[in-house]
Structure 1
Amino acid sequence: MGVMLFGESYDCLPQGRLKSRADTPNWRLFSSAEDTFSHCKLVHQFNISNMIHKHALEFYGYIKLINFVRMKKPTAEYLNSLSSPLPWEEEEYLKPELEDDLLLQFDIEDLYASTNISEPNGLSDNTAILEQLKCTEHRAKLAETALARAQEDLQKMRQFAQDFVMNADVRSNSSSSSAIAELRDDEDGVYFSSYGHYGIHEEMLKVVLDVGCGTGILSMFAAKAGAKKVIAVDQSEIVYQAMDIIRLNNLEDTITLVKGRIEEVDLPVEKVDIIISEWMGYFLLFESMLDSVIYAKDKYLAEGGSVYPDICTISLVAIGDKNKHADRLAFWDDVYGFNMSCMKKAVIPEAVVEVVDPSTLISEASVVKRIDCHTTSIPDLEFSSDFTLTITENTVCTAVAGYFDIFFEKNCHNSVMFSTGPQCTKTHWKQTVFLLENPISVKTGEALRGKITVVKNRKDPRSLIITLSVNNTKQTYSLQ
């Protein structure tokens, strides 16, 4: 397949402008990307290598440049005159303008390797060497950034696998440490051992939909477990990293990636048999993707299909932590001799996401919401619930903490769950703490009654407004 200069049906004229084949009999078809770049440099004074070095373009930047040139057909003079910000920085230029464009398959590392350091822009040898060193340094920094991002993604994969699957025995805290140790020794072995609990193997020769796939870790687990086809959907730019990861693991024949919101994209199938998603947010529902999972379930899940996780609960527990209460509230009564108690009104309404010391728990937990992902609807995600917290010691209640548990139950031979509660293995979801302005004196065996109301913030539907009534004292909190 030949390579046209800057488009399948366009060529560069001596002035550097693009012209269609119909307008000139002298269009040229090049046999390689190198020939194309050489022609640009010799005939039109446009040096693609210098352009990459000048703007420190990495692989995706190069792709955007090529697609920008094909789409906008700029002059060589215009391209040579550009400075930051670059006109091709928008994500739309990641989409190939030409199908099977060989220029997009060119490894720009070859350009870095083949650059003649004695002649860029007519600079002296010393200056040229300095320029080359600067480029090398910049490439090293890009590589460091990419490595850091990859390491962060890997850590997220490990953490999620640990939280999402490994803690099948989380009800027994003594087994959590050994599960984590096994994960570090043999992540795949532990995962697939736990995966057998789901009983999904009987159904795995089916189509799986991963909503909000991120780096594609769940999609790859599903593919390795035997899924016939996996469709992974994510609207963020991380989907491009997922493409690379999936190719590196030779799973591109099984996993199809789709970029966009599940509510807006067209899937290559009408129905799926299983939906998987790591949709949970803080306090389960903050910035969660459950709305999208519900949409996917209603539109794409085949009759009798399964959504995992399928059961989720939100629980509350009382906290007695005088020191932390003093740090956050009493502190404002005397700040270096000044009364700033008015600041309490600004501090209290902000729910705090943090790890709660289990030694500060002073009640049994109370479930205030149960969600079955197979039957729930979007309106169900706003709710009110009465609760009773049975106190376990004589002290004062300074706050109420919320957390969630998730379960895998439908078609599972052995029910699997994990908890984000303060008495279990720490997770990145931590707990959500609602501070009480005035601590409440409580006694062992006392029933501390209250009511919680959770609604979406109308100005920001992904955040929550939570109203808590305890002992006839009402306080509204924001989680945002």
Structure 2
Amino acid sequence: MADTAREIVKANGFSDVVTVIKGKLEEITLPVEKVDIIISEWMGYFLLFENMLDTVLYARDKWLVPEGLVMPDKTSLYLTAIEDAEYKQEKINFWDQVYGFDMSCIKKQAMVEPLVDVVDANQIVTHAAHLKTMDIGKMSTGDASFSAPFKLVATRNDFIHALVAYFDVTFSMCHKTTGFSTGPRARPTHWKQTVMYLEDVIAICEGEALTGTMSVSQNKKNPRDLDVTVQYSFNGKRSRASRTQHFRMR
């Protein structure tokens, strides 16, 4: 990729302006002591998957001048809930009985791994809850591991089969603030949304709320993976539920 980038720079007459350096960021040497701006598309699925943020923070702490900029500079993670009986039945509950055989052990694995896909906005059952905002210019590496409470208030009578996480990205230091959303109501991006199916099917009425806490951290064996724990409870007119579920993005 770096070699191709050099060819593009040369072909367009910018060799005296743009310098392409090939190598792992933690191992390279820059031709300058400090930089004024760092631009990086580090975001992964669920914002934090693959742990590229640590590399950006390393570069910031090593090379950025005191008043320098990191772009994008702010990201926010959100959670909502959806109805998705069809997928859950076809892809997850399917394993309860496969041609007469009990394969429910595979179902457990299917529940642990979140699905990355584009969610139809018509499936959304609740308002979104804000989980976390990160200021990339000021945060520390440990801030990417967190626990946050959530309250998802239903907008209609329906069922909840899964939680959906997505994020917004902001360039707030530009002349005019700009950015984009990876949410299900926005134009689809390659990040899509992250869907976590619940063991319970929750019958929820308009105005009722599913409450809980989401905890996110790097996996201890593989820091590129994410461990997500969701503790939720619900006490509604038509159903009740209280459970802790563990998910792993890998």
Q: Which amino acid aligns with 1:344?
A: K
Partner of 1:478: 248
Partner of 2:38: 275
Question: Matches of residues 17-28 of structure 1 in structure 2 within 5 Å?
Answer: none
Supply the distance in 2 between the matched residues of 1:438 and 1:343 (Cα, whole angstroms): 17
Question: Matches of residues 126-145 of structure 1 in structure 2 within 5 Å?
Answer: none
Partner of 1:307: 70
Partner of 1:440: 202
Question: Matches of residues 6-405 of structure 1 in structure 2 within 5 Å?
Answer: 238-405=1-168
| Per-residue CA distance 1:94-151 (angstroms, 9 max, x = gap) | xxxxxxxxxxxxxxxxxxxxxxxxxxxxxxxxxxxxxxxxxxxxxxxxxxxxxxxxxx
| Per-residue CA distance 1:319-374 (angstroms, 9 max, x = gap) | 11111111122212332233333322121001111111111110111110100011
For the residue of structure 1 that corresponds to 2:229, the secondary structure is: strand
Structure 1 residues 264 and 329, CA gap change in structure 2 (3 angstroms): same
Give yes or no for the alignment of 1:424 onto 2:186: yes
Supply the distance in 1 between the matched residues of 2:105 and 2:45 (Cα, whole angstroms): 28
For the residue of structure 1 that corresponds to 2:225, the secondary structure is: strand
Q: Which amino acid aligns with 2:212?
A: G
Number of aligned residue pairs: 242
Q: Which amino acid aligns with 2:190?
A: H
Supply the distance in 1 between the matched residues of 2:144 and 2:105 (Cα, whole angstroms): 34
Alpha-carbon distance, 1:317 to partner: 0.6
Supply the distance in 1 between the matched residues of 2:115 and 2:25 (Cα, whole angstroms): 31
Supply the distance in 2 between the matched residues of 1:342 and 1:460 (Cα, whole angstroms): 24
Partner of 1:468: 230
TM-score by length of 2: 0.93
- Is this contact kept in 1: 2:51–2:223, CA < 8 A? no
Supply the distance in 2 between the matched residues of 1:330 and 1:289 (Cα, whole angstroms): 34
Q: Which amino acid aligns with 1:450?
A: G
Q: Which amino acid aligns with 1:296?
A: A
Query: Paired residue for 1:454, among 213, 216, 220?
Result: 216
For the residue of structure 1 that corresponds to 2:29, the secondary structure is: coil
More helix by share: 1
Q: Which amino acid aligns with 2:39?
A: I
Which consecutive residues of structure 2, in runs of 5 or more, have no partner in the other structure? 234-241
For the residue of structure 2 that corresponds to 1:473, the secondary structure is: strand
Runs in 1 of length 4+ with deviation above 4 angstroms? none
Which of 340-349 and 357-366 deviates more? 340-349
Supply the distance in 1 between the matched residues of 2:16 and 2:37 (Cα, whole angstroms): 19
* Higher CA-based Rg: 1
Supply the distance in 2 between the matched residues of 1:280 and 1:405 (Cα, whole angstroms): 10
For the residue of structure 1 that corresponds to 2:247, the secondary structure is: strand
Alpha-carbon distance, 1:288 to partner: 4.0
| Per-residue CA distance 1:39-67 (angstroms, 9 max, x = gap) | xxxxxxxxxxxxxxxxxxxxxxxxxxxxx
TM-score by length of 1: 0.49
Q: Which amino acid aligns with 1:299?
A: K
Supply the distance in 2 between the matched residues of 1:330 and 1:459 (Cα, whole angstroms): 30
Of structures 1 and 2, the one scoring higher in RCO (CA 8 A, sep 6+) is 2
Supply the distance in 2 between the matched residues of 1:460 and 1:395 (Cα, whole angstroms): 38
Supply the distance in 2 between the matched residues of 1:253 and 1:353 (Cα, whole angstroms): 42
| Per-residue CA distance 1:161-206 (angstroms, 9 max, x = gap) | xxxxxxxxxxxxxxxxxxxxxxxxxxxxxxxxxxxxxxxxxxxxxx
Q: Which amino acid aligns with 1:355?
A: V
Supply the distance in 2 between the matched residues of 1:339 and 1:261 (Cα, whole angstroms): 47
Supply the distance in 1 between the matched residues of 2:102 and 2:59 (Cα, whole angstroms): 53
Supply the distance in 1 between the matched residues of 2:50 and 2:12 (Cα, whole angstroms): 30
